[in-house]
Amino acid sequence: MDVFSNLMMGFGIAASPYTLMLAVIGAFIGTIVGLLPGLGPSNGVALLIPISFSMGLDAISALVLLTSVYYGAMYGGRISSILLNIPGDEPAMMTTLDGYPMARKGQASEALVVSGVASFVGAIVATILLMFLAPMLARVAYRFGPAEYFALYMLAFCTLGGMGSNNQAKSALAAAIGLGLAMIGMDQTTGMPRFTFGQLHLMDGIDFLVAIVGLFAVAEVFFFIESHGKNSAIGVKLSKVLVPWRMLRQTFGAMLRGTGIGFVAGVLPGAGASLGSFLAYMAEKSVARDKSSFGKGNPKGVAAPEAGNNAAAGGALVPMLTLGVPGSGTTAVLLALLLTLNITPGPLLFAERPEVVWSLIASLLIANVVLLLMNVPMVRIFVLILSVPAWVLLPGVTMVAFVGIFSLTGSSFDMMMMVGFGLLGYVMRKLDMPTVPVILGILLGNQMEDSLRRAMVLSNGDWTYLFSSPISIGLWTAAVIGFVAPLFLRRLLKKPPLPATAEGANED
């Protein structure tokens, strides 16, 4: 009964006209961010964080806006996957396998409707599971001490870096860079400056919003200039959009199976929506009677991965809210937002700030309904936005990044630092190094250091205290497995090649 009474409280806050307006705006912007190839949910949320602060939004309003952007981007990624064979973001990649062949067979509108409904089923079921699972996990987290939290942070670094990169050494190096950046500023224990080089701007440490916008958005601009800057408008065609009821009934089972698999993948720190959509697609193909039809325009091959990646997005919020450990790159950005709002995710969040948690969950449910209503009848509008040429898009993204950061900090030093992080992100992407561990290091570095220090004080310097409880031993074991397992799983989970494009769309 607590869940339902808390949910009613959340709806009482989230259903206000102002909050509903923010949910609609966030869902619309998120869908645009998702459908434009290359941007993705992490970049979209990172860009809008400083904008939301400059608008003077309170904690709940900012959370509603940005989580609506997050869910909207997960919906939008499928549109360019189906119509152009270019995934809007990585989790939408599996949708291209059958979505684009359906479009080439003249079933583009059917594929868009099926994928939109599958996204809704995946996201809404995951949000309902989040309602019941998150409070249970929060109660378990009450047993965590400094040793358990230190092991938990290690688990986050090992799994998020391990699954998000093709090279474990590069992931470890990226995490080390992030932890090193987190050490800049005043030492919380001694009050002495560390690695500030006499710069007053660095006394408070690295502002993680500056780092996030630089590493995600500005780096994307550099990368986009290099790879897409000379492109002209994108041409797309779409027939009349009708709801294919029969096809929806046939694919409903695939949606539910994809949802279950995607949610589990999302809850696991580091697994994320990409693995959720991939596993959902492969599982659906393995249980299908006509396996040869996959990759040639099977609607179940569209429904399963779309349900899987949207369910994973909801699942990734579970460890972020209950443990303060992000389950994906985008939830790492959302974690930065919470910390900036002086909201500390963790088991106490449900007891101390229930209005924030439950209004967030209620707004997610509302945003999903808005997204379903928006993504089926308004798909033509989103398709038109796909025609925006790169020379219009690039200055817009750059302007939003600079204006957002300057309005937030008012510091030219921070803007130069943002460009520096953009260059760092560009170089890291060129070297095939993941940038999420850097963000994670900046976000969690101080808390990780604090946990280690408290553990050493409690144990009088005995390092075996870090492995002294069953919970910490389990977390350390999971961390080692999460870091080592991808070395072997990559061979088993080798992604199938994308279907050939008609006009070389993927060559972009």
Q: What is the DSSP string of 113-168?
A: HHHHHHHHHHHHHHHHHHHHHHHHHHHHHTT--HHHHHHHHHHHHHHHHHHH-S-H
pLDDT (average), residues 428-453: 84
pLDDT at 420: 92
* d(C-alpha 332, C-alpha 207), whole Å: 14
pLDDT category, 499, cuts 50, 70, 90? very low
Q: 296 with 256: CB under 8 angstroms?
A: no
Query: 496: which residues sit within 8 A by CB, 6+ positions away?
Result: 97, 295
Question: Rounded to an integer, what distance in angstroms lies between the CA atom of residue 1 and that of residue 6?
Answer: 8
Decide the pairing of beta strands 193-194 and 185-186: antiparallel
Q: What is the pLDDT of residues 343-379, one digit of tens each?
A: 878 777 777 788 888 888 888 888 888 888 887 777 7
**Mean pLDDT taken over the chain:** 79
Over residues 58-88, the pLDDT tens digits come to 888 888 888 888 888 878 877 877 877 666 6
Handedness of CA 89, 155, 69, 137 (dihedral sign): positive
The most confident of the ranges 53-62, 135-144, 359-368, 379-388 is 359-368
Q: Which of 434, 398, 380 is nearest to 172 (CA)?
A: 434
Question: What is d(CA 129, CA 141) in angstroms, rounded to the nearest whole number?
Answer: 18
User: Residue 505: its pLDDT value, please?
Assistant: 38
DSSP string, 180-214: HHHT-EE-TTT--EES-TT-GGGTT---HHHHHII
Please report the pLDDT score of residue 163 as a whole number: 57
pLDDT band for position 424 (cuts 50, 70, 90): very high
Question: Per-residue pLDDT tens for 396-409?
Answer: 777 777 877 777 67
Region at 423 (left for phi over 0; alpha for psi -120 to 50; beta for the rest):
alpha
Q: What are phi and psi of 479, to 5 degrees?
A: -65, -45
Contacts of 497 (CB under 8 A, 6+ apart): none
Residue 423: predicted pLDDT: 92
CB 29, CB 71: distance < 8 Å:
no
The predicted model gives 53-57 an average pLDDT of 77
Q: Kindly write down the DSSP assignment for every residue of 19-60, as one continuous string.
A: HHHHHHHHHHHHHHHHHSTTTHHHHHHHHHHHHHHHTT--HH
How many Å apart are CA 415 and CA 478, to the nearest integer? 39
Say whether pLDDT at 34 is over 60: yes
Per the model's pLDDT, the better-predicted residue between 227 and 492 turns out to be: 227
Residue 40, by phi and psi: left (phi above 0), alpha (psi -120 to 50) or beta?
left
The C-alpha atoms of residue 68 and residue 25 are separated, in whole angstroms, by 8
pTM: 0.75
> Residue 194's beta-bridge partner residues?
185
| Gap between the Cα atoms of 53 and 470, Å rounded | 42
Does pLDDT of 215 surpass 80?
A: yes
DSSP of 261-290, one letter per residue? HHHHHHHSTTTHHHHHHHHHHHHHHHH-S-
Residues 74 and 80: their CA atoms lie apart, in Å, by: 12
